[in-house]
Structure 1
Amino acid sequence: MKEQELKYWLAWNKISDIGPKRFHKLMEYFGSAENAWSVKSEEISRVLNLSNKISSRISEEKNNITPEQELDLLAKYKANVLTIKDDLYPENLKTIHDPPPVLYFKGNIIEKDKNSISLVGSRKATYYGKMVAENLSKDLALAGLTIISGMARGIDTAAHKGALAVHGRTIAVFGCGIDLIYPPENRRLAKEIEESGALITEFSFSTLPERQNFPRRNRIISGLSLGTVVVEAGEKSGALITADFALEQGREVFAVPGNITSSLSNGTHNLIKQGAKLVNNYRDILEEIPGIVVQETNTKEISAEKFSLSEEDQIIYKIISNEPIHIDEIIEVSKLSASKVSEILLNLELKDLIKEIEGKKFIKL
């Protein structure tokens, strides 16, 4: 698209009351974003059937926008943009109801990204949830799929990290402008994603990560994907909104079962009751996606039998599970001395059989 027209697409996209539906209506009536920009506010109000209050708000915002500056911001923040008319606009996203007319992005969007799976879940995830999300993401990325998530704390972060760990592709969808990183502690992660995939948003520059933006972000997460996997979610989790969008968009919905005593399992278990496919491993996901071209995965399971473990090593290894266990409890159950247990734990960790996490706790890998 020529810059002369593009700058008006970006300008309209900046106006908060002009969402995708109204934008597409303007384009249909006036033929171009530039033509729509040049008409009087009364005409815009008539075409969109706006109330006086909304019409005044749009007119005020429009008067404060200089379309040329939107192009300058692209250069300033080293960002790129796709419109729905561009060939590279994601194929999966084009098919949803009222697709975003504009996508700002950093990194690269490629044709292969149409084979995508989204992994979402609670921001306050358990260690189990984060581990499952990361492992599923690794396996799916090794199978050649692009991993989509929202770069939020918890499950989203674990999903992105899993794909990056095996040099796979991953895309993070923002609920704010492309010039902002939220949450701020994921700045380094965002840079890694940009180098191995893409950062994407429909929101214009300087849009803050406000609460009302995230449902719109969630519909893009599901829209980019062939299916959505919910790993952990409470009964009112935003991840369930993503699952609802996936169903509306005719996409597959999957759920990972969790601990029945955890409130973070309520959302995923309800999804399973409602017909979402229960996920034990990545193959459960792949077999529900027809026509997908899957690479042979290089995933290798780590087994204790591959290592020469002494009898005492075996005792400690059997005590440790996927649930974190404190070193004091390991000492008590094993009946071994504290020094011997510490020695064995270090040995098992060096062999990548277990991992120490916060608070002197250990889990099996």
Structure 2
Amino acid sequence: MSTTQHPADELIAILRLQHVPNIGDVIAKKLISHCGGPCAIFEDKRSQLLKIDGIGTQTIKHLYDSKNLRAAEKEYEYIIKHNISYNYFEDEEYPKHLKHCIDSPILLFKKGNINLEGRKIISVVGTRNITSYGSSFCEQFIAEIAPLNPIIVSGFAYGVDISVQREAINQGLQTIGCLAHGLNQMYPKVHTKYESDVIQNGGFFTEFWSSSNPERENFLKRNRIIAGMSEATVVIESAEKGGSLVTADIANSYNRDVFALPGRSTDKYSIGCNNLIKQQKAQMLTSAGDLVYLLNWELEEKNTKAVQKRLFVDLDETEQKIYAYLEKQGKQLLDSIALDCELPIFKTSATLLNMEMKGAIRPLPGKLFEAI
């Protein structure tokens, strides 16, 4: 993924705009569009800028504050000295899904071997306190999705983030960590040992300068990059409140698909996922097949058969009977399944629920069921 090089004065103007208090990415893009470019903003008359919706006298005062220029020049020197790569939001190389988000960063810094061209991209997030259930699902999910060669995006944090990124590397997939600080440091420090592996198999994105530290508000800002970069966001375990639920909400606001791993109602780190599903903010995810089906992706036939074979081994005798029936007959109603498989309705219903949790079948509108 190459980087467009911008002239020094233009890059400094972009940085200067990024540093102005009270000017977020939405207003920054309005200014750039109105004036015709970042340099022109600081050359335009103040009276003209005041005509732009959302621009007031206080904003203008901050805009022309010389300390922003000095900060931009200092960061520019750091970028040049350390050969930092970056993407401006109007560059062709800027992540295409993120480009469609109104509040996407006007400037993204990057490190590694990132290649987004023509690739499927999934964001995976979740609790820092991952359980054995979540860890096992991470491993299963990445192994099942690997034949499609997607890019796995996460936050490089404790728990689900680092687990899913390590599994991606184990499967030879490209993975991207979205950071809440500058590229001059790594947080958490204990994950520094994984940095080189991520760089070799993808890399890092951040909108934050070298002077930025991993503060709480930065993590919340970072979440919109995770949600915006991908076609879908997957939540693997979350307590009733947590950053991954914020990421899911942002993904929903971008009209992206959201998936959540269900769990027992008594499990603390399944409450958030169960609520997302219950509130219809996320589709239930029991296997990679659910995501592939709902996103209209296609698994290789060889992998589909391998997944089916593995599932079949995990099914008991009654489940195998129902699975074989659905695989042969296609979509069927509960009553038809019970009748043709010679099973009581109550037992058929309970068995179908177990099979759904194992990722062997999926429910469909109209009370239909089908084999995955």
Q: CA deviation at 1:56?
A: 4.5
Q: Is the 8 A contact 2:13 2:72 kept in 1?
A: no
Provide Cα deviations, 1:84-130, integer angstroms capped at 9, x if missing partner. Answer: 12111111111112221111000133234641111100112222212
Q: Letter of the 1:89 partner, please give it.
A: Y
Partner of residue 71, structure 2: 65
> Is the counterpart of residue 36 in structure 1 residue 41 in structure 2?
yes
SS at match of 1:200: strand
Cα deviation, residue 40, structure 1: 7.6
1:85-124 equivalence runs, <5 A: 85-112=90-117, 114-124=119-129
Match of 2:32 in 1: 27
Deviation at 1:217, TM superposition (A): 1.0
Q: Does 1:145 align with 2:141?
A: no
1:204 and 2:186 aligned: no
Q: 1:266 aligns with which of 246, 271, 286?
A: 271
- Give, in angstroms, the shift of residue 298 of structure 1: 5.8
Structure 1 distance, partners of 2:268, 2:49, is 48
Match of 1:3 among 7, 12, 16: 7
Instruction: Specify the SS of the correspondent of 1:172.
Output: strand
What TM-score results when the alignment is normalised by the length of structure 1?
0.74
- Equivalent residues in 2 for 1:128-277 (5 A)? 128-275=133-280, 276-277=282-283
SS at match of 2:23: coil
Aligned amino acid, residue 117 of structure 1: I
> How many aligned positions are there?
302
Q: Deviations over 1:225-266 (max 9, x none)?
A: 111111111111110111111111111111101232221111
Counterpart AA for 1:194: I
Aligned partner of residue 64 in structure 1, secondary structure: helix
CA contact 1:141–1:169 (8 Å) conserved in 2: no
Q: What secondary structure sits across from 1:157 in the alignment? A: helix
- Pairs within 5 Å for 1:297-336: none
**Secondary structure class of the residue paired with 2:42:** helix
Unaligned runs of 5+ in 2: 314-372
Closer/same/farther in 2, CA of residues 112 and 136 from structure 1, 3 Å limit? farther
Amino acid at match of 2:275: N
* Pair 36,189 (structure 1): closer, same or farther in 2 beyond 3 Å: same
Higher alpha-carbon deviation: 220-229 or 140-149:
140-149
Q: 1:75 to 1:93 in 2, by over 3 A?
A: same
RMSD: 2.8
Counterpart mapping for 1:41-56 below 5 A: 47=52, 48-50=54-56, 52=58, 55-56=61-62
Q: Give secondary structure in 2 for the equivalent of 1:212.
A: helix
Distance in 1 between residues matched to 2:45 and 2:210, nearest whole Å:
25
Query: What is the match of residue 285 of structure 1?
Result: 291
Aligned-pair distance for 1:294?
Answer: 4.9
Distance 1:53 1:72 in 2: 26
| Counterparts of 2:136 and 2:7, CA distance in 1 | 45
In structure 1, runs of 5+ residues without a counterpart are: 307-365
1:223–1:246 CA contact under 8 A, matched in 2: yes
| CA deviation profile, 1:154-195 (whole Å, cap 9, x unmatched) | 000101011001111111111111222111111122221111
Query: Do the aligned partners of 2:147 and 2:299 also contact (CA within 8 Å) in 1?
Result: no
Contact 2:22–2:59 (8 Å) recurs in 1 = no
State TM-score, norm by structure 2: 0.73
Per-residue deviation at 1:58?
Answer: 7.0
1:14 to 8, 12, 19: 19
1:123–1:153 contact (8 Å) kept in structure 2: yes
Percent identity, aligned pairs only? 31
CA gap of 1:58–1:265, structure 2 versus 1, over 3 A, is farther
Q: Return the letter of the residue paired with 1:26.
A: L
